[in-house]
Amino acid sequence: MITKQTSALLGSAAVVFGLMASGAMAQSDDTAITIVTPLSYDNIDSCNSSADVGLVVRENVVEALTHLNPETGVPEPRLATSWEQTEPTVWRVTLREGVTFTDGAPFDASAVKRSLERMFNPNLDCLNRGKLFANILLTTTEIDSHTLEISTENPQPLMPIFMSFLTIDSPNTDFDTMTNTPVGTGPYMVPERGVNDPIVLERQDDYWGDAPEVSKATYVQRGESALRAAMVEVGEADIGLAIAIQDAVDPETDMAYLNGETTRLRFTFEGPLADIRVRKAMNLAIDRTMLRDGLFNDSYKIATQMFLPRISGYNPDMEPWPYDPEQAKALLDEARADGVAVDTQIPLIARVNFYPNGLEAMEAMIAMWQMVGLDVKLQTMERAQWLRLVNKPFAEPRDPMVIQEQHDNNSGDATFTMHFRYHSEGQQSEFADPKLDELIDAADVATGEERVSLFQQANAYSAEEIVPDIMMFHMVDYMRVSSRLDFTPDAVSNSMLELASIKFDETD
Amino acid sequence: MGYYFRQRTIHSAISLLGLVIIVFFLARLTGNPMDLLLPVDTPQAVRDEFSARHGFDQPLIVQFGSYLADLARLDMGNSLRDGQPALDHVLAAFPVTLMLSFWAMLVSLVIAIVTGSIAAWRPGGVFDRVASLISLAGASIPNFWIAIVGVLVFAVWFRVLPTSGTGTPWHWVLPVTVLFVRPCGVLTQVVRSAMIDALAAPYTKTARARGVTSRKIIFGHALRNAMLPVITVAGDQAAGMINGAVIAETVFGFPGIGKLLIESIMFRDFAVIQAAVMVTAIAIFVLNIGIDLFYAILDPRVRHG
């Protein structure tokens, strides 16, 4: 029998739970969205826009001179309306007229010149300079208010692509210190915020282009994938980034997309790995389809080269290595008979928390190599330790090793991969092959179809004649998108999430 | 009492100096922050240039000398991540953790004292067995598990609490719960044990013989005498709150010192790590002195000693 006190208690509990539910589920502005991210973005200065913070600021707050089409990788006009190479080392750029920064300053050639000079300011930890312009000095000359010339020491046929990373900030931006409230020409502005406050972007009404539908975006950070997924599920957030495979359980809202990353294992050309037969055998021993279906899923694409098909220079004729353990054994026997120390233990250097199921994939591959008679041992390292092994100058003596790697090329051109990894002067290259150097050098200065063809030849030659790596997969990320949004992520969404491309689903 | 304070302050200052040295050198053993700040494919020349600008190219002992000189001017350096003063980050985060810890300890103590005292009244009875089982479970369950299950049950299934974040009192419920469960379990066991001893003491028997009510015997006589070990353990638990706060704040996106510390460690943001450790250590020293004072109030023998 329920007493009066019990009834009162239950009644009160119901009221409290009801109030809690209404408080927890409250929704405010219909056109404001919340994006929940795994990382916190501490420094959103525009000169870091090629790094992680690009997701927030690039093309939302600060716009670049050009914009790379995410499907084709071709540069399209943004703040620059046209460009032409007037000399091998000079590009003339025409700027868009009638554009102002959100602080009222006019957008013109002098603003662009100052912004580029700020990027090269040695007093700033500017990641755009560190990542893209470490070896390229840009000099700007104003021709008139909306025309300027950008000069380089060496010919730069890729200048229109580089221009997609040149985000322009207001001439009122402090020249010698980084800012957490960047001011650009984009459709959104960053209001003043305190230490530890979340980043908020607010739509600005006098944007030069079409007005976006999203009026306000708040970026909140949660480290746990399950929590990010839950936030979208209960309506606290509209977009959840980097949802783990095990949390991406709702096909209606969880979208898989190629994230621009490609994974491989790199050989050091030492000990038994100096012999191409051993390198080929290690490739033939891997059942990539089983690996993918067992640890990842069929959204992951088996890779033949280190960048996606949309990147200029991709060779569509290259085939993945077949799974052929018998041929692998035969190659190893042949090498052994010639005195190659095939039975030497080879360390596999894996990085902790590199990508989901990364360590499991390494363990599975070790088991596959054991089946053909190779002795490979897993060594896990955290990033700083791992970096010492992957970047030149390498410590001497260099050991025979297989090193886990992941690389993203969202810049539209093969050179950002090929020179760095396969040219003898490349910072992460393990070998020197004159013919491959020649092909890459020729491609670097070529343009158009010739450039594409030369990079394709270089890719095929490297894979067939040198075998410098074990190609794995073009990787996938999952994004949970609320049903009230009409938005599909693409390969550049992880580095540049344009709020203007997000619409509201009218049918929801 | 003045002598006691002077002694404690000197001991605390020596411990703090030791801590500063250990944290400074241990943090730097983990590698150069530029390796994490800059993209993997950054040329070595640029890495070297960035390192030099922040003084990471200097010998460790030179870096330590500069750090001590800055510290003498109360300058704890700037965050590598956003260039803001490290102390500003810490002072913005610290009140959040303090408030979280305060509520968690308060809830822990209230539940532990009431439950432990009632359980001790009839050791081996039904209430005692249930309370012991729950308190042991509370002391053993990992915080992380409680956090994720709490979100699933209350935010996703019943939808009565927000998943995470700040803004309303409801946002505090799950983080406080995650933080109080473990200390509450431990304290309930301690209260129960201390109360069993106190309730078996001659003065309690005398009170019973004189017809004093059970409530008055438990809460008026026995509890005060049972409090000394409880305060000792509560002090330890309060000082250890920072461990739980790391989990609670990281999972629930609470902008406290635990979250700040873990992010700074991940990014090798040395200045913020050092400032956070120092402020936390000072708070723990102050807490310990407070506990000693409370001891003295409760037990005249301590005061006179």
How many Cβ pairs within 8 Å bridge chains A and B?
A: 122
Q: Is B251 on the interface with A (CB under 8 A)?
A: yes
pLDDT in tens, B220-256: 888 888 888 898 899 888 888 877 888 899 899 899 9
Give the pLDDT confidence score for residue A6 in this predicted structure. Answer: 47
A1, pLDDT greater than 70: no
Q: Is B190 on the interface with A (CB under 8 A)?
A: no
- The arithmetic mean of pLDDT across residues A280-296, rounded, is 96
State how far Cα A473 lies from the chain centre. Answer: 15
pTM of the model: 0.84
Chain A hits for B148, CB-CB cut-off 8 Å, are 224, 226-227
Q: Is B95 on the interface with A (CB under 8 A)?
A: no
A384, pLDDT greater than 70: yes
At residue B290 the predicted structure's pLDDT band, cuts being 50, 70 and 90, is confident
A434 vs A384, residue with greater confidence: A434
At residue B1 the predicted structure's pLDDT band, cuts being 50, 70 and 90, is low
At residue B304 the predicted structure's pLDDT band, cuts being 50, 70 and 90, is low
Cβ distance A484 to A238 under 8 Å? yes
Cβ distance A192 to A181 under 8 Å? yes
Alpha helices in A224-373 (DSSP H): 225-233, 276-284, 288-295, 325-337, 358-371
B45, pLDDT greater than 60: yes
Residue from B160, B161, B252, B268 to probe the interface with A (highest A Cβ count within 10 Å): B160
What is the percent of chain B where pLDDT is above 70?
98
At residue A474 the predicted structure's pLDDT band, cuts being 50, 70 and 90, is very high
Give the pLDDT confidence score for residue B302 in this predicted structure. Answer: 66
CB distance A230–B170 less than 8 Å?
A: no
Residues facing residue A201 across a β-bridge: A217
CA-wise closest residue to B79 among B278, B247, B261: B261
CB atoms within 10 A of CB B202: 7
Of how many residues is chain A composed? Answer: 508
Helix and strand totals (H; E) in chain A: 14, 19
CB distance A196–B168 less than 8 Å?
A: no
Give the pLDDT confidence score for residue B74 in this predicted structure. Answer: 87
- The arithmetic mean of pLDDT across residues A2-28, rounded, is 46
Average pLDDT, chain B: 88
A60-to-A203, A347, B88, B273 alpha-carbon distances in Å: 9, 45, 28, 32
Q: Is B12 on the interface with A (CB under 8 A)?
A: no
Chain B hits for A177, CB-CB cut-off 8 Å, are 83
Where does residue A30 rank: exposed (0-12), middle (13-18), buried (19+ CB within 10 A)?
A: exposed
Chain A's closest residue to B255, CA to CA, is A196
Query: How far is A211 from chain B, CA to nearest CA, in Å?
Result: 30
What is the percent of chain A where pLDDT is above 90?
71
A282: CB partners within 8 A, 6+ apart: A267, A328, A369, A374, A402, A470
Chain A hits for B41, CB-CB cut-off 8 Å, are 131, 420, 427-428
Integer Cα distance of A344 and A427 in angstroms: 27
B84, pLDDT greater than 90: no
